[in-house]
Structure 1
Amino acid sequence: MYTVQPIDTSTLGDRSYLVHDGTTALVVDPQRDIDRVLEAAREAGVRIGHVFETHIHNDYVTGGHALAQETGAAYHVNAEDPVDFERMPVSDGEIVDVSPVLAVRAIATPGHTHTHLSYELRADGRPVGVFTGGSLLFGSTGRPDLLGPEHTDTLVRAQYRSAHRLAGEIPEDAEIFPTHGFGSFCSSTQAEGVSSTIAHEKRVNPVLTSSEADFVADLLAGLDAYPAYYAHMAPANLAGPGAPDLTPPEPADPAELRSRIEAGEWVVDLRSRTAFAAGHLPGSLSFGLDGSFATYLGWIIPWGTPLTLLGETPEQIEEAQRELARIGIDRSAGGATGTPEEWTGGRPPGVLPTASFGDLVEARTEGRDEGMVVLDVRRDLEWSESHLLGAVHIPLHQLLRRMDEVPPGRVWVHCGSGYRATAAASLLAANGRDVVAVNDEFANAAQAGAVLESAAA
């Protein structure tokens, strides 16, 4: 008997895995906050003896090195990866005996990276599953462009061959256990489903149902931008990162908060966008924990900028620190909990006007907001599919460096649902612009009477 327990990090779109036979466990691709893995092992009553990395990750700081040090487990990393720490080098075809019941076979599956490995899981000598990392995902594959354009063509073709190798070598009834593909930008397209087998992927996955030429062309045509913080992940992972420090940040009073904003530091409001709009510390920025907080904050913030966190409760601050530690932002400069009135020191809180697409259409039609600017902060592929006629397009992740391209006038900013629009509106307001955040689903725009066009039109 064996158990495979996924440990989800839904905010980054990743999964780690704890696998055990009731006594001894192995872990695949653990996240930075290893306390979750240790707790899962304690609850199962098992000892972690082995930790495996499928690849040097680009979207998060690994917990593998810290977990191996904490537990004394053997840390298995591809022998070809130039890491700065002691590891158990593993190569294609090598079999690692984990326990009398469990074993793992390494399979070279380049494509997501040059040195990517998948791991076939064997129970009582029989292949029962494969940990595919960023190779074969549910209905998709890992993207091949994260190492730079000079590697993309080589990697996308390697990804095709690797998927076919897995499909040819692993039994059809074996389950696949990917690390990416649950909303991660490491996935070339959004993966579908919560479980799968080799047989199912042979029927539905484009990498296994298309010719190599069609797969390459379709995948490359569908790639969009990925977070800027990815550039910092591989160097951190090659160095062997330690466990994060999740102790509370130093408290910041109203005077300190104001001085940090005036110094150009980032003071981030973790509350929902509706709470931020109703009242906030002027100059603070809205990145609520109810959205893709770490992804967008890590994408946009100039790396190394001091960061102060504002939350209603200490638990919100704690959650934010955990999210940020996963992408290598280890310590906040400070934090404050409470209400906007407490953060302003008695001064009036700032208010962010909000609207629906119906309000936007009405304002345009009636000319109530003369000189209004409609700013679309969605990504390029979203814009290409459909956008408001006459809108200005600056993706959220480019807004800081392109502020001077936003035309003069009151800016009505929208995205796909309201989260990115509010973040963008807070950035614009902090830079002195008059803004309205459209807190609405883009799917409602046409119904509200907005005129849409596509980039191909």
Structure 2
Amino acid sequence: MVLISSVDTPTLGDRSYLAHDGRVALVIDPQRDIDRVLKLAADEGVRITHVFETHIHNDYVTGGFALAEATGAAYHVNDEDPVAMAHTPIRDGETVPVGDRMRVRVLATPGHTFTHLAYLLEEREETGWKPVGVFTGGSLLYGAVGRPDLLGPEHTDALARHQHASAQRLAELPEDTLVLPTHGFGSFCSASQSTAAASTIGVEKALNPAVTLGLAEFVDTLLSGLDAWPAYYARMASANLAGPAAGVLDAPRRADAAEIRASLEDGGWVIDLRNRVAFAAEHVIGSVNIGLDGSFATYLGWVIPADASITLLGETPEQILEARRELSRIGVDPAAHATGSVRDWAGDQLPGSYPRAGFAELAHVRHHRPVAVLDVRRKLEHAQAHLPDALLIPLHELLARIDEVPDGEIWVHCAAGYRASIAASLLAARGRTVVHVDDDFDAALRAGAISAAVPEPVG
């Protein structure tokens, strides 16, 4: 019997897969920290013989080539992808045997990229080959599809049309076939998000707009729902075409208080990994809070300049190693780290702090005096509902537009507090007076704690 296990990376919203028959295994879309896949294979007592890429990934550095090198497995990449490393090229319509009880059928499914492939896994039975699951990568997701706009606006419309055709092709598979996507669990590679934990072709045929809608309506719906994607995506494809090595997972060199201060003075970035409550109460002046309790790597890669020298601050060595692993997945190598407390990191420098508040407090203050409010959510979130007179600067645009933030006290909010903490710390590092609104926007709106402008209904 064929068994399929997922290796989840929730902070990036992705899944890799290992499938095996008890003896040999194949892996789909592995992340760069390949030790997780190697451990899973060892625990299952199987040998990895084949590694498959559904596409040249935009949201992480692949571990496919490194895993194939480490295991001696065949590394399967679309023949049309101009990769520089050794690989086994494959094309639409080919069938790849994996041992004597599994095989993989290659299906062209352009849309997320032009050369995207899906892989139908089949198991040998007495009566013939039975489909088990289809690894759909960034094609057919749970209730959605992968974004068609990551290759640039000049290709978006064509790729959106390809996504529809590819979804229709996949919908022709048997209805009990498992749908096994790489994206769609919080990844910005997904055009929308679903809370589903599993799905089948039958479920997607009934619910997925890429299957249920006609071409024109689907394209209009898909394109109208697209918003910004992380800046670091622009660097991932070139890294993946080159055949990246496995990620470095050891802690970078240790820095003391003097080195932390020198890094800040030299234009380096000092990233505090603690949660936003601890950071607001006390932090090294000039440091930026990107907590490990949220989408750490996504927002660091989105906000911090690509060429930045990064020092990580964590309370424990385990936090540093977790951050190093997260960053390796997007090709970021921090220069140094320190552990301990703010007093250890700041040395003889006084720590900084700023207040936190809720939306009810913000409403109360605004009732009594003028208050500047900065909304750092994305544009589509803002369009759904927003505070009147709040200045919208999405978090990923804040560094480039920081001069637009008005003088004086500024109250910073997002949807739930995590992004607002990053923004507040960026402003505080530049000497601004900030209040971090650490609260749930939607909950405050429902409770009547705030009044927000919402779009007028159409029709």
TM-score when normalising by structure 1 = 0.98
| Alignment-derived partner of residue 231 in structure 1 | 234
| Aligned: 1:152 with 2:156 | yes
Q: CA deviation at 1:192?
A: 3.2
Partners of 2:450 and 2:64 in 1: CA distance: 50
| Aligned: 1:364 with 2:373 | no
| Aligned: 1:326 with 2:329 | yes
| Matched residue SS, 2:325 | helix
Q: Is the 8 A contact 1:251 1:336 kept in 2?
A: yes
Q: CA deviation at 1:79?
A: 0.2
| Matched residue SS, 2:60 | coil
TM-score when normalising by structure 2 = 0.97
**What code does the residue aligned with 1:181 have?**
G
Q: Pick from 289, 295, 308 the counterpart of residue 292 of structure 1.
A: 295
Partners of 1:103 and 1:161 in 2: CA distance: 24
Q: Pick from 305, 311, 314 the counterpart of residue 311 of structure 1.
A: 314
**What code does the residue aligned with 2:383 have?**
S
| Aligned: 1:210 with 2:209 | no
Q: Is the 8 A contact 1:55 1:116 kept in 2?
A: yes
| Matched residue SS, 2:253 | coil
Q: Is the 8 A contact 1:361 1:448 kept in 2?
A: no
Mark the runs of 5 or more structure 1 residues left unpaired by the alignment: none
**What code does the residue aligned with 1:438 have?**
V
Q: CA deviation at 1:432?
A: 1.4
Q: Is the 8 A contact 1:62 1:237 kept in 2?
A: yes
| Alignment-derived partner of residue 414 in structure 1 | 413
Q: CA deviation at 1:332?
A: 1.2
Q: CA deviation at 1:309?
A: 0.1
| Alignment-derived partner of residue 380 in structure 2 | 381
| Alignment-derived partner of residue 96 in structure 2 | 96
Q: CA deviation at 1:278?
A: 1.1
| Matched residue SS, 1:105 | strand
| Matched residue SS, 2:270 | strand
Q: CA deviation at 1:249?
A: 1.0
**What code does the residue aligned with 1:421 have?**
A
| Matched residue SS, 1:15 | strand
**What code does the residue aligned with 1:336 have?**
A
Q: Per-residue displacement from partner, 1:402-423 (whole Å, max 9, x unpaired)?
A: 0011111200000000000010
| Alignment-derived partner of residue 338 in structure 2 | 336
Q: CA deviation at 1:241?
A: 0.2
Q: Is the 8 A contact 1:8 1:15 kept in 2?
A: yes
Q: CA deviation at 1:247?
A: 1.6
Partners of 1:422 and 1:335 in 2: CA distance: 21
| Alignment-derived partner of residue 276 in structure 1 | 279
For 1:1-400, list aligned pairs within 5 A.
1-124=1-124, 125-168=129-172, 170-329=173-332, 331-367=333-369, 371-400=370-399
**What code does the residue aligned with 1:275 have?**
A
Q: CA deviation at 1:451?
A: 2.4
Q: CA deviation at 1:126?
A: 1.4
Partners of 2:196 and 2:40 in 1: CA distance: 24
Partners of 2:443 and 2:207 in 1: CA distance: 31
| Aligned: 1:402 with 2:406 | no
Q: How many residues align?
A: 452
Q: Is the 8 A contact 1:4 1:20 kept in 2?
A: yes
Q: Which moved more, 1:191-200 or 1:301-310?
A: 191-200
Partners of 2:28 and 2:371 in 1: CA distance: 51
Q: Is the 8 A contact 1:4 1:17 kept in 2?
A: yes
Q: CA deviation at 1:253?
A: 0.7
Q: CA deviation at 1:304?
A: 1.3
Partners of 2:33 and 2:455 in 1: CA distance: 42
Q: Per-residue displacement from partner, 1:110-158 (whole Å, max 9, x unpaired)?
A: 0000000000001002111100000000111001000000000110000
Q: CA deviation at 1:456?
A: 5.4
Partners of 1:241 and 1:12 in 2: CA distance: 18
Q: CA deviation at 1:264?
A: 1.3
Partners of 2:27 and 2:389 in 1: CA distance: 51
Mark the runs of 5 or more structure 2 residues left unpaired by the alignment: none
Q: CA deviation at 1:254?
A: 0.7
**What code does the residue aligned with 2:146 have?**
G
Q: Per-residue displacement from partner, 1:140-178 (whole Å, max 9, x unpaired)?
A: 10010000000001100000000001111x111111100
Partners of 1:449 and 1:327 in 2: CA distance: 39
Q: Is the 8 A contact 1:139 1:192 kept in 2?
A: no
| Matched residue SS, 1:137 | coil
Partners of 1:118 and 1:401 in 2: CA distance: 39
Q: Is the 8 A contact 1:309 1:335 kept in 2?
A: yes
Partners of 2:233 and 2:4 in 1: CA distance: 28
**What code does the residue aligned with 2:293 have?**
D
Q: CA deviation at 1:454?
A: 2.6
Partners of 1:105 and 1:362 in 2: CA distance: 62
Partners of 2:235 and 2:5 in 1: CA distance: 29
| Aligned: 1:425 with 2:429 | no
Partners of 1:400 and 1:382 in 2: CA distance: 20
Q: Is the 8 A contact 1:145 1:152 kept in 2?
A: yes
| Matched residue SS, 1:25 | strand
| Matched residue SS, 2:407 | coil
Partners of 2:213 and 2:268 in 1: CA distance: 49
| Matched residue SS, 2:254 | coil
| Matched residue SS, 1:76 | strand
Partners of 2:250 and 2:170 in 1: CA distance: 43
Partners of 1:346 and 1:262 in 2: CA distance: 15
